[in-house]
Amino acid sequence: MMNCIIFAVLLAAIGGCYVWLGVKKNERASRIRATQIEIANLNRQIAAATQHLEKKLDRTALEERVAKAGLDLKPIPIGPRGGRLVKLPEPVIPSEALSPGNRNLATALHP
């Protein structure tokens, strides 16, 4: 009689574990599906934004917009010998300029 009760309790515990694992498996599968759907939506948004930017940056469309606006823009020569970018120095704001005697960075950041 005792063996039957122990067997029934063990069988119920194993069944409960299978049910619990099944629920966890379904929850995880639904989270994975939701994440995949979210990734697909983000990829669609990225593709739409890329297409929109490509339309905005299309050379012929930009030239038409410049001509329509009447801007007097000159093309910048691009190439190995045509043009080059030059980094300009940072502007100095008079209120933030350091005095000649005070060149400590910590003092300049936190007076």
**Nearest Cα to Cα of residue 107 among 23, 2, 99, 82:** 99
The rounded Cα 87 to chain-centroid distance in angstroms is 28
Q: Across the chain, how many H-helices and E-strands are there?
A: 3, 0
pLDDT, tens only, 67-86: 888 877 777 666 666 566 67
Angle at the Cα of 60 from the Cα atoms of 87 and 76, rounded to 5 degrees: 25
pLDDT value at position 61?
79
pTM of the model: 0.47
